[in-house]
Amino acid sequence: MRIIGGKYRGTRLADFRGTDTRPLLDKARQAVFNILGPSVAGARVADLFCGTGSFGLEALSRGALSCEFVDLGRGALETLGRNLQKLRIGEDEARRQRGCVFRHVERRDPTSGLLDLVFLDPPYSLLREDKGRGRLAELLVSEALARNLAEEATVLLHVEREAGFVVPTGRLQVQDERIYGRSTLVFLGAESDRIPGQDPPPPSR
């Protein structure tokens, strides 16, 4: 795994391969940040179900103001810590928290800073269960998430194509959707927002 753009470009990072940890492939990550463009610079980011934090690290490399990393996996977060040390990224830019993402969002204090960009990368095991899919759907339409988002925030959801997850209708609307191999990347934003340079997705057939 490596950083593919920004000030840390080309830096190879330590990896951790757990049963539920699967960093976004370089090709897909590059495409995501090409779509997001300059909106990443100065953004407050949350990398939720972060694993080793490849998305958040890429955002910091590209000028994000800060990133909060949340995951239950001890090994993945320890690997993330080593990579933060390697990149010399301090706690003022990156904050790690081991715990449940759903509880983190519920308890997060918006006065700590509204989020401009949120990456949700739930483990495949969660999406293969009805209960897990239900909890994720509830999170996407929850007041807890909404109150922590800046007015023009983007939420990026990474799910397995075969999981059959249906994005619920709420404040957040699908702005764009891309497929890379087994992965589906869904860009969500407030109904009036559009991702810079992107046209709305075509209607489902």
Can you give the pLDDT of all 205 residues of the chain as single tens digits? 789 999 999 999 888 765 455 566 778 888 899 999 999 999 999 999 998 899 999 999 999 999 999 999 999 999 999 999 999 999 999 999 999 999 999 999 999 999 999 999 998 888 888 899 999 999 999 999 999 999 999 999 998 877 778 899 888 999 999 988 888 999 999 865 454 445 544 433 3
Instruction: Please give the pLDDT value at position 196.
Output: 47
pLDDT at residue 105, rounded to an integer: 96
Tell me the C-alpha distance between 44 and 40, whole Å. 8
pLDDT of residue 6: 93
- Is 182 contained in some domain? yes
CA distance 191 to 73: 34
Q: Is residue 140 part of a domain?
A: yes
Alpha helices in the chain (DSSP H): 26-36, 54-61, 74-87, 101-107, 124-127, 130-140, 143-146
Report if residue 14 sits inside a domain.
no
- The domain containing residue 167 runs over which residues? 43-190
Q: How far is residue 25's CA from residue 182's CA, in Å, rounded to a whole number? A: 11
On whether residue 197 sits in a domain, the answer given is no
Q: How many domains does the chain have?
A: 1
What was the pLDDT predicted at 202? 46
94: domain CATH number is 3.40.50.150
195 belongs to a structural domain: no
- Structure-token pair, residue 184: 């589906």
Phi, psi of 75 (to 5 degrees): -60, -40
Task: Give the Cα separation of 77 and 135 in Å (integer).
Answer: 23
Provide the b/e sequence for 79-109 (b: ≥16 CB within 10 Å).
bbbebbeebebeeeebebeeeebbebbeebe
Cα–Cα distance measured from residue 163 to residue 9, given in angstroms and rounded to the nearest whole number: 32
Q: Which of 123, 118, 116, 2 is nearest to 58 (CA)?
A: 2
Looking at residue 18, its pLDDT comes to 57
pLDDT value, residue 46: 98
